[in-house]
Structure 1
Amino acid sequence: MAKPATLQVKLVSTAGTGYFYVAKKNPRTQTEKMEFRKYDPKARKHVLFKESKMK
């Protein structure tokens, strides 16, 4: 059976609040780690979110 084309990754807040988003990523086309500026409701501001693996 073939592997799925997309993987789920966790985007963890760099503010240290423990808040995270879950996103899909195609590792064949996006080889680098994802980084986004998104809203962290615990910190109540936009911060950088970096990719980490799902457990």
Structure 2
Amino acid sequence: MSKSKDVRVTVILECTNCCINKESAGISRYITQKNRHNTSSRLELRKFCRYCHKHTIHGEIKK
């Protein structure tokens, strides 16, 4: 039985550089989990973007 207010939630991280730059071939996205109690704000991580070919900031987006 799962609760409706789980502590760990699934979030999608999207490259912030690809969103600004419309010339890229696509948008890099990662799926991860975060703890709702420890990280209440939006999550931002440096991840590798295969379209920009470098490490960029990936921010949490709305589902």
Q: Which residue of 2 aligns with 1:34?
A: 43
Which is strand-richer, 1 or 2? Answer: 1
TM-score by length of 2: 0.73
Runs (5+) with no aligned partner, structure 2: 19-25
Runs (5+) with no aligned partner, structure 1: none
Which is helix-richer, 1 or 2? Answer: 2
Structure 1's consecutive aligned runs of 4 or more residues displaced over 2 angstroms after TM superposition are 1-4
Larger radius of gyration: 2
Following TM superposition, by how much is the alpha carbon of 1:51 offset from its aligned partner in structure 2, in angstroms?
0.5
Q: Which residue of 2 aligns with 1:10?
A: 12
What's the C-alpha RMSD, in Å, of the aligned pairs?
1.5
> Identical aligned pairs, as a percentage?
26
Deviation string 1:9-40 (CA, Å, 9 cap, x unpaired) is 00000121411000101112211111111100
